[in-house]
Amino acid sequence: MLSQLDSLKTEALAAIEAAQDESALEAVRVNFLGKKGSVTALSQGMKDVPVDQKKEVGAKLNDVRTAVTDGIESKKLALQAAKDAKAVEGIDVTLPGRPGAGVGALHPLTQIRDLAIRTLRRMGFALAEGPEIETEWHCFDALNTPADHPARNEKDTFYLPDGRLLRTHTSSVQIRTMEAAKSLPVRIIAPGAAYRRDEIDATHLSVFNQLEGLYVANDVSLGDLKGTLEYFFREIFGANTAVRFRPHFFPFTEPSFEIDVKLEAKGKDARWIEIAGCGMVDPAVFTAINKARGDTLFDPDTTTGFAFGLGLDRLAMIMHGITDIRHLIDNDVRFLQQFAA
């Protein structure tokens, strides 16, 4: 019996080794360990084994059964592993991915506007807005612009038949905001479209985008204006960006400045690029606001403020090296997809 067991074990392990798939392996199991299997048959023969040999034969029988069971189990795992490996055979992972719905993009103007807004919000500016169809009062009179100022001309400004106009700058939102303000301080930024009667060419659009800023309180100084805008442009263009303020003239601020930042163009020396206008709110603006409000919230003797405005189209062009402003309104996908996130 012992020798029978030895040869059975050899036979079973060979059969396991030879099994090519799960069903062959199952057949082997049935053959040896099934109800009618050879190992089962031998264990039924245990009752005929003499008592003095029972212990030895029993141990041997157990050994054979364990060896066969383990053999089947490990072969099963090996077969599964081979099958798993086969499942990924021949997959070329270097092929392009499935496009899904494809990649879209935010317009570069939206991106730059959002960057500007996020930066200024960190300094506690709230957003404000106003109508694009404006009264002459909000766009010019209240902003201390003389009655015969050239900007009011029909050659330069779009008018509606009813006498209103398309705002020539977002500065009219300063007026709208101060008219409606309940208290000081007023600290707002206003992104928006503005209109000028310009022929469209590589550097001009008749409708363009600006960002206006206004901070009015009782102790606002030129130092606040400088600190705020230095911070802003360094956040936008990099911490080491040089920013300079050149005295200039605007009817609604005094003193007034134009702001240049020093930027490097590809392969060229860094140069000063004009980027924004700013200044301290002219007291005449406060006087006009008070008159319209019928109170003295904006007392020109104690209230001070700064205002600034910048062209977002120009900012986008400088930032991305865009050479023709018309790209911003053509919406050619070959242009837009360059700005995908």
Query: Interaction with another protein in 101-130: which residues (CB under 8 A)?
Result: 101-107, 109-110, 114, 117, 122-129
Q: Which amino acid is at 21?
A: D
Q: What are phi and psi of 272, to 5 degrees?
A: -80, 130
What is the Cα–Cα distance from 228 to 123, expressed in whole angstroms? 8
Query: Interface with another protein includes 137 (CB under 8 A)?
Result: no
**Least Cβ distance, residue 334 to another protein (angstroms):** 7
Closest CB to another protein among residues 80, 338? 338
Q: 325 is written with which tokens?
A: 């402003």
Q: Which position among 33, 40, 141, 185 is part of the footprint of another protein (CB under 8 A)?
A: 185
**Least Cβ distance, residue 219 to another protein (angstroms):** 7
Residues 140-169 touching another protein, rule: CB under 8 A, are: 148, 150, 153-154, 158-162, 166
Cβ proximity of 259 and 278 under 8 Å: yes
Site string for another protein, 52-81 (x = CB under 8 A): ------------------------------
Indicate the SS3 state at residue 85: helix
Closest CB to another protein among residues 58, 227? 227
**Contacting range for another protein; rule: CB under 8 A; set: 42-50, 53-61, 75-83, 217-225:** 217-225
Query: Interface with another protein includes 221 (CB under 8 A)?
Result: yes
**Least Cβ distance, residue 199 to another protein (angstroms):** 7
Can you spell out the DSSP letters for 8-41?
Answer: HHHHHHHHHHH--SHHHHHHHHHHHHSTTSHHHH
Closest CB to another protein among residues 26, 231? 231
Q: For CA atoms 144, 150, 156, 157, give the dihedral sign.
A: positive
DSSP 8-state secondary structure symbol assigned to residue 257 = E
What is the Cα–Cα distance from 76 to 6, expressed in whole angstroms? 23
Site string for another protein, 250-289 (x = CB under 8 A): ----xxxxx---------------------x-xx------
The residue whose two tokens read 């404006």 is: 134
**Least Cβ distance, residue 98 to another protein (angstroms):** 6
Cβ proximity of 198 and 326 under 8 Å: no
